[in-house]
Amino acid sequence: MTMPPDLRYAAEHAKGFMPSGEGLALFHAALKYGGQGPICEIGTYCGKSAIYLGAAARQTGSVVITVDHHRGSEEIQPGWAHHDPTLVDPRFGKMDSLPAFRTAIAAAGLEDEVIAVVGQSGRVAGLWNTPLALLFIDGGHSEEPVTADYEGWAPHVMEGGALVFHDIYPDPSGGGQAPYRVYLRALSSGAFKEVGGEGSLRVLERVGPGI
């Protein structure tokens, strides 16, 4: 199956940092695994990757739960390279990507497929008990948040389901190393094997216990 042109256009023009090739790889991973159950995304930002996932959810009859506090990860705060001043709420002086996300998902026509959960990933994970067909980890990229996302959410990936990481850079000159270290931890656990990837995106399949 291919991604519908209107949804691909919506994804490519939404705010975010995912290259088109990686987004399409995410879409195809969600197509492959989404029919087994719900899809969960950690790190929503403005909805770019949620559109890729939502397009697959529509075709597989699945649903996407996307979790984010919408106050921005470290790398998009003021003074950092990826900061977008248009996302600052002047009333509170804080980042707020939720309005941009809602606009992007509504414009794409995916409000039935994509469900936003607004809150800290770890707090939400502590309440979660539904097996996941696919988990996409793309939240905070420093050591503490990416480790917490893995520890809180990876145990919920069903056997035969997928764990997908973004921003995996084996060479430190390419980017931060925290997601790469957690990706290696997942592989060394014996619970996952790598089955695909594109650019900095890595797709792992759960093959057993051991997380």
Angle between helix 5-13 and helix 48-60 axes, rounded to 10 deg: 160
Distance from C-alpha of 44 to C-alpha of 87, rounded to nearest angstrom: 14
| Phi-psi region at 95: left, alpha or beta (left = phi > 0; alpha = psi -120 to 50) | beta
As a whole number of angstroms, the distance between CA 138 and CA 73 comes to 10
Active-site residue flag, 69: no
CB 12 within 8 A of CB 55: no
Q: Of 28, 69, 141, 156, which residue is the catalytic one?
A: 141
Supply the residues annotated as catalytic.
Answer: 141
